[in-house]
A and B are shown apart, each in its own frame.
Chain A
Amino acid sequence: MMLLSPKRWYYMMGRKKFFEFLILAVFILFFYGPLIHMFMLAFASKYEVPWVLPTKFGFEWWKYVLNQRSLVSSISLSFTIAAIVTALSLVICLPAAFVLARYDFPGRKLVMLSFLIGNAFPHLGLYTSIGIIYYKLNLMGTFLGVLLIHMLGSIMLMIWLPAGAFRSIPRQQEEAARDVGAGPVRTFFHVTLPMAWPGIAVAAMFTFIASLGENQGTLLVGLPKYRTMPVEMYGVILDYPATAGAVFALILIIPNLILLLLMRKYVGPETISKGFKMN
């Protein structure tokens, strides 16, 4: 009990450290509290008033959620879309990133900045005007329409981060490859691309995660045919018990956590800041 006395903590740590500690503790509580609560809910088989904690833990709600056909199909749809969006973005954005990183043409900075515009306005307004175009092009309610909406959201990162990665490769590394006999194409695939890979991987990860989480655009464009997990989430919040919602939310979060863990070596201020340099 000795350690529970705040006075003891105060004098042990000193005034400054003590308040820093308090702020950190409050921050952690606010930040992780809801997350922990959600974990608890997801594994609560029996959780009734007046108990503060669940009285029985188990996988009951997991079984329930995984038995709802519409929810399961939304999971597989979400991952399919995220995978396709990531692959397509790579194919489209990498060449653009390379050109922007390596060739200095008039208006280069403007082109770079133009990718920011998509993120500079409230998305809903943007989607409304996109909706008008979609109706004209018959893209409303189509798979392609959903893919395009998802890709729109990730273009900026998908170009800026790889461009930063390409830019930071010393030219002489490529010259050394040319020198030993590799042509320009081989040099790109054996030297440039592998060396830029960390930056590209981080961008791909962000794209994948962003696609998994995209909801506004999908809701507007994809309904009623294409219901991804975040879209289903709206319904889950309204129609299902909180415990089922928690399970569903965890299914959304877990892949993100795994990806972040796998990439933790590469995700850092350095990779990100390289991408945000304009020169």
Chain B
Amino acid sequence: MTNEVKLEIRDMTKKYKNGDGVENINLKVNTGELVTLLGPSGCGKTTILRTIGGFLECTKGSILIDGRNIEHLPPEKRPTAMVFQSYNLWPHMTVYENMAFGLKLRKIPKAERHHQIMKMLELIKMTGMERKYPGQMSGGQQQRIAIARSLLLKPDVLLLDEPFSALDAKIRSQMREELRKIQIDLNITVVFVTHDQEEAMALSDRIVVMNKGCFEQIGTPAEIYDKPANRYVASFIGDMNFIERSDRTIAVRPECIAINSSGKEEIAGVVRAVMILGHYTEITVDTECGIIRSFVAGQDAGVFHPGQRVTLSYTKALEFLK
């Protein structure tokens, strides 16, 4: 990752006929950086991705790659490659033909094509699958081929539109790791769209949190988690307790709530439920400020039981003015 800007979106606005869309989008993505657009469905993240890919026209603004405006180019002329949620391999072509299609269009000689495809299959650990048809493979395998198909074209920017959300949890996290490794090894610039905050945290160099067509915050996963810019980001990323005060809201992560140990601003309450969630235990407590959740390490949780009177205090908190 370097500090030279690969992709820049300048003052971009895309409005649909019904008034939905995104407005005044400004974003710079550095070479080799993986930036995630994160937000609930309908927040406009896919719209941004599709305008970068050339499948939607901007109403206003420009999109630059290496300083060159690509706004007027059709998708086939753009130096971007897109991976779709539903894989979108062509079902009437074999894996090999799927991967060769774009290379053929670029007039790459047959021997060179073969060499590149075989190398790519090896990279994604799918050697020997080249004669299979997409219908013969699992979802995870298909998506790997789809990513490989895009990588083969050495795009300046790789666009991924919720690529893993159709896969089951185990394969998803495995694919996530592999993608991150390949992305770092090949130093590819990636814009990744997801509604899964865990995925965004795990993968990204930077996250853009979106809501209703606007950027709420741009930052590294740690920044977003530790210093959410506003209440929306605080509630969207990770678990958060909100304690209402007259003029402000105090936001505390469940892992920062301590039970029965002195700290600032103690709150009394009654334990409502104790839930063991593997390596930690979630304890919900009824207080005058509403229900507050606390994450306690497994070995410390044994002393609590429902109905018990406790006092809560917190070690670290954020405040948002009302």
Contact = CB atoms under 8 A, between A and B. Distances in A.
Interface in A172-196: 172-173, 175-183, 186, 190-191, 194-195
Interface stretch (B87-95, B198-206, B278-286): B87-95
B101 A175 contact: no
B76 A183 contact: yes
A6 interface: no
16 contacts: A173-B88, A175-B53, A175-B84, A176-B146, A177-B90, A178-B75, A179-B82, A180-B105, A180-B149, A181-B77, A181-B106, A182-B102, A183-B76, A186-B105, A195-B90, A195-B91
Interface of A: 170, 172-173, 175-183, 186, 190-191, 194-195, 197
Interface in B256-275: none
Interface residues of B, number: 25
Contacts of A173: 88, 90
Contacts of A186: 105
B153 interface: yes
A183 B78 CA distance: 12
A197 B74 CA distance: 27
A190 B76 CA distance: 14
A182 to B, nearest CB: 6
Main secondary structure on A side of the interface with B: helix
B82 A176 contact: yes
Interface string B39-82: 00000000000000111000000000000000000111100111
A172 B318 CA distance: 43
B183 interface: no
A181 B101 CA distance: 9
B30 interface: no
A182 B53 CA distance: 14
B217 interface: no
B86 interface: yes
A180 B101 contact: yes
B81 A180 contact: yes
A176 B88 contact: yes
A181 B153 contact: yes
A194 B92 contact: yes
A181 B105 contact: yes
Contacts of B53: 175, 179
A224 to B, nearest CB: 47
Given A172-B88, A176-B90, A177-B90, A182 B101 contact: yes
Contacts of B54: 178
Contact of A180 (B74, B84, B153): B153
Nearest to A180: B102
A179 B106 CA distance: 13
A3 B225 CA distance: 80
Q: Which of A178, A181, A190, A194 has the most CB of B within 10 A?
A: A181
A197 to B, nearest CB: 8
Contacts of B81: 179-180
Contacts of B89: 176
A177 B76 CA distance: 8
Nearest to A193: B92
